Amino acid sequence: MNRLQELFKTKKKDILSIYYTAGYPNLGDTLKIAAALEHSGADFMEIGFPYSDPVADGEVIQASSKQALDNGMTLEILFDQLKDLRKTISIPILLMGYVNVVLQYGVANFCKKCQEVGIDGCIIPDLPMYEYEELYQECFIEHGISNIFLVTPQTSEARIRKIDGLSNAFIYLLSSAATTGKNLDVSENARTYFARIRDMKLNNPLMIGFGISDKQTFDSANEYASGAIIGSAFVKHLDLNNLEGSVADFMKRFR
C-alpha cells in the first residue's frame, strides 16, 4: 500500500490536494514549494511536469508551464530534484502531465524513477484507458504507482465503472469538461452530476477538481466527494519574492 492509498484509507473527508508546476516560478523551487505545502496542511500534492502544448490547462497553468520550460525544466531534471524528496516530505505526491513526455522518457523508465524517488501516483489525462490497461498497467502496479483517471459530466456510467475497476487510489472528478482555471460550477446541473457519481457507490473515493479556488468552493466539493484539488488559484497566488510566505498565506484559507 503506497502513501496515497493509506491516506484515503484513514481519511474520508476534507482532503486537500494542491497542484503546482515543477520549475516554476524558478527552476529550483520544486522542493521548496513541496515543503511549504506539507508544513501548511496539504494532504497530498500534484507536481506537474511541463509540456509545450498543455491543451487541458487554462491560461494560468499554461503560463507556468511555459515559464518552467523556459527555466530549463525537463523530466530528467525533475527526477534529479526529487531524488532527496523523502528526506523531507512525508505526504503522498503525484506527478501530473501529458503522455508524450512520458512516452519520450519511456514508460518503464518513468515508473522505475517514480518508485525510486518516492512518487505514489500519476495523473496523465491524455493516456487512453485501453492503452493503460493493455500496455502499461502491469508496469505501474509493479512499481507501486497508482494511475488516476479523470471523469467528466459526459463520461458514461459504463466507462466510470470500468475506471473504478482499474483504479486503486481515487477517481478525479472534473467539475466540468472545460480547461483548468474556470470557477467551480455549482449550478443545479453540476450538483446533479456530482450526486449521480457519488450515488454510484464506487469502490474508489472521489476528488473534485477544476474550479476550486476558495473555502466556499472547497466546502461545496466536500459535499459530494472526499475532498478537492486546487491548481490554478494556487499557482496564481505564488509570489516569487516571498515563496514560502505566499504558500502559507494561501493555505490559511483552507486550514
Q: Catalytic: which of 43, 57, 120, 185?
A: 57
Cis check: omega of the bond before 25, within 30 degrees of 0: yes
CA–CA distance, 254 with 71 (Å, rounded to integer): 31
CA–CA distance, 230 with 2 (Å, rounded to integer): 22
In this structure, what C-alpha cell is assigned to residue 59?
491560461
In this structure, what C-alpha cell is assigned to residue 158?
459504463
- Surface-to-core class of residue 252, CB atoms within 10 Å of its CB (0-12 exposed, 13-18 middle, 19+ buried): exposed
Task: Specify whether 46 is catalytic.
Answer: yes
What single-letter DSSP state applies at residue 88?
A: T
Q: Catalytic: which of 38, 43, 46, 185?
A: 46
The alpha carbon torsion through 91, 97, 101, 105 (nearest 10 deg) reads 20
Is the distance from CB of 48 to CB of 21 less than 8 angstroms?
yes
Task: Specify whether 133 is catalytic.
Answer: no
- Surface-to-core class of residue 214, CB atoms within 10 Å of its CB (0-12 exposed, 13-18 middle, 19+ buried): middle
Give catalytic residues, as residue numbers: 46, 57
